[in-house]
Structure 1
Amino acid sequence: MQRLPLLITTGEPAGIGMDIVLLLASAGKLQDFKRPVWVTAESEAMQKRADKLVATGVMSSSPAWQTITIVPDDNDSFVEQLSHYLLDNDDTDHYQTSSDTFILLDIPCGAPVTAGQIDINNAVMVAQQLQIAHQLAINKKVAAIVTGPLQKSALIDANIKLLDGSKFSGHTEFFMQQSDRDKVVMMLANQAMKVALVTTHLALKDVPAAITQKNVRQTVQIVLDDMHEKFGLTRPRVLVCGLNPHAGEGGHLGVEEIEVINPVLQEFIAAGVDISEAMPADTLFTPRHLNTCDAVIAMYHDQGLPVLKSHGFGDTVNLTLGLPYIRTSVDHGTALDLAGHGSASATSLYQALVMANEMADKALSV
């Protein structure tokens, strides 16, 4: 069976996205997955970044890659041209010879790239990477998308909009809208645990109002579906945090568990799902419980993620559950101050690739 490629979007060209790809390629780590690896970036910028890293001594020589460049005509955008080319060519993996570490999908920037210096003229190119990634994934031309870091402020300043016309707010919202989904779930995972979130980037004062029965129900269902379809688990064991200290302590410290969370969880329990009722977060995140579960659902960002990151910050991977394809991501930003200096770590990108590859393999077996 042909193994579809893993697609890496390098994101903001002034950041470390290209650095970490080049570091893995130079170390021979992109060959670990027994799949072709495709990378979106500008060819000229990638070569200049490789030259800078060689000059720092972190790489002895520039890794080899194969470039696919499509020149748009007057009628089609670059995104359409490149996407159509790749969608119409089933044998693009043959471009990757034994000496090539990856296939570079050459997407031109709007302005010259300087490591560490954001130029909003390149924001369109960053958005094009995501559009191409979505088109290839939704048409099953790649096994998974692995996203490098982007600078949201640069896309907002460049007036890049989401599909619904709202300002650009991140990878997650972009892929959700492109896939016509009204709910996706953020999950972070490392070797110690997998933690999904009911709410994500909200002020703490706004969290209780966002903990609705609909939101909890949708989150649980998406976690269950993806644990089966993308992790290959036939009957995942899921533990759920309460919102309040001691999970409300019988209503004395809050009633959300009684009125909102547990009624939904009891629906799933009655249907035969292996899921807990709301548990106190301070005891849930202990080895006794974590050793017997496949995933944890936390109610808000800083309830679950500090614990997870304390068990493995460098190897943590960001996942988007609920999409019609696999998307993993690095768990760090653009690190503009590190770009081109040879001091960036590629550990998170490697772990994101490992997880994407494992999920792609398990999805085939379900």
Structure 2
Amino acid sequence: MKPCLITVGEPAGIGPDCTLRAFSQTPQALQNCIIVSPLSWLEDRARAIDLPVQLKAFSSLNEAKSYKPGQDELRLWNPIPETDVGSVTAGTPSASTAHAVIGCIEAATRACLANEAAALVTGPIEKAILKSQGFQFPGHTEFLAHLSRKNHDDKITDFVMMLASDTLRVALLTTHMAISEVPEALSIEATLDCVRIVNHDLKHRFGIKQPRLGLCGLNPHAGEQGHFGREEIDILAPAARIAAAEGINITDPLPADTLFSANSRKNFDAIICCYHDQALIPIKALSFGDAVNVTLGLPFVRTSVDHGTALDRVGRQDVSSSSLLAAIAMAKRMCDKP
């Protein structure tokens, strides 16, 4: 069985804490997992939080895969040259580690694309630090799609960011952008692409035979028949009609203020939202700490935690690994689907 790869993200944040605590508290959950990280990032943090974890580090993925760890051993693959690892101060991000953070994500992604690993689970990154060092992407999602395109002759043209919990799944038509830019970014074709990807991956990654999709309107009251905006009339409703004609079970654009109510959301396997906070506010209100970020449309399984780097919480005893454990469990379930 191919391993699941885990990147810790920003080494000054809680990514290393979550990884170490997850293994310490629930070692069986990380069976057949390999952490993609320089050894010092986890070794130093384990010492700082007084958490004795046996770390077994390898310079190649094949070596890490071949090693049979004991019950108290956590395997690491470090693809980063020692000169590029950088210096880590807990709670204070440094530009010196930016290239190593990016390098770990890229190496793990390429391993998944080469079918050398089953899935990728990512820890939170500090985007501002990475951008200061030339990282040109809004976040993980866009970077992974870019790498997938480069490795598949540009066949990967579309992707969808979805957050999922036992209570709710939300998918985004737009991801990381200013709210003022959202209306211009919406289109019939982009909406259709998103709907098709969500419908496809709910079937093939989640095993839902007939996905039921809800579609959020952009404007208050879903535009109130054009009184509060025409995006519902000109973009969202036409896309929903085309999708329905293709056999996809999707609603017309509905008011977002009622679509997430307990009685309403139980009717859907996923709700498609127009912008970041329209999706993330309800799912984090309902499931923060238990939700998982999933990238749909990629040629491999990718999940992530639903929280940020939490620089002010590094080293605290109450740092929770629940979202990381949920992301690992969901990645494994998705890999099990035919």
Equivalent of residue 14 in structure 2, options 16, 20, 43: 16
Q: What is aligned with 1:354? A: 329
- Alignment of 1:64 with 2:54, yes or no, is yes
- Alignment of 1:318 with 2:293, yes or no, is yes
Equivalent of residue 178 in structure 2, options 203, 213, 219: 203
> Does the 8 A contact of 1:8 with 1:38 survive in 2?
yes
> Does the 8 A contact of 1:189 with 1:316 survive in 2?
yes
Q: CA shift at 1:242, angstroms? A: 1.4
Q: CA RMSD in A?
A: 1.9
- Deviation per residue, 1:13-38 (Å, 9 max, x gap): 222111111111111x24136x4110
> Does the 8 A contact of 2:201 with 2:296 survive in 1?
yes
Q: What is aligned with 2:4? A: 6
The equivalences for 1:93-242 within 5 A come to 93-106=65-78, 107=80, 108=82, 109-159=84-134, 161=135, 167-180=136-149, 181-242=156-217
- Give the secondary structure class of the aligned counterpart of 1:311: helix
Structure of larger gyration radius: 1
Equivalent of residue 43 in structure 1, options 39, 43, 59: 39
- Give the secondary structure class of the aligned counterpart of 1:18: helix
- Give the secondary structure class of the aligned counterpart of 1:243: coil
Q: CA shift at 1:149, angstroms? A: 1.2
- Deviation per residue, 1:278-302 (Å, 9 max, x gap): 1111222122222121100011122
- Give the secondary structure class of the aligned counterpart of 2:49: helix
TM (normalized to structure 1)? 0.84
How many angstroms apart in 1 are the aligned matches of 2:320 and 2:19?
10
- Give the secondary structure class of the aligned counterpart of 2:225: helix
Consecutive unaligned residues of structure 1, counting only runs of 5 or more, are 70-81, 162-166
The equivalences for 1:328-339 within 5 A come to 328-339=303-314
Q: CA shift at 1:46, angstroms? A: 1.7
Q: CA shift at 1:213, angstroms? A: 0.7
Amino acid at match of 2:310: A
Q: How many percent of aligned residue pairs carry the same amino acid?
A: 40
Q: CA shift at 1:145, angstroms? A: 0.6
How many angstroms apart in 1 are the aligned matches of 2:182 and 2:131?
25
> Does the 8 A contact of 1:7 with 1:38 survive in 2?
yes
Q: In the comparison of the two structures, how many residue pairs are matched?
A: 329
How many angstroms apart in 1 are the aligned matches of 2:181 and 2:230?
16
> Does the 8 A contact of 1:228 with 1:234 survive in 2?
yes
How many angstroms apart in 2 are the aligned matches of 1:30 and 1:328?
19
TM (normalized to structure 2)? 0.91
How many angstroms apart in 2 are the aligned matches of 1:304 and 1:67?
39
- Give the secondary structure class of the aligned counterpart of 1:224: helix
Aligned pair in 2 of structure 1 residues 347, 259: CA closer, same or farther (>3 Å)?
A: same
Consecutive unaligned residues of structure 2, counting only runs of 5 or more, are 150-155
Equivalent of residue 232 in structure 2, options 253, 257, 281: 257
Aligned pair in 2 of structure 1 residues 30, 270: CA closer, same or farther (>3 Å)?
A: same
Q: CA shift at 1:201, angstroms? A: 2.3
> Does the 8 A contact of 2:23 with 2:29 survive in 1?
no
- Alignment of 1:289 with 2:264, yes or no, is yes
Amino acid at match of 1:176: A
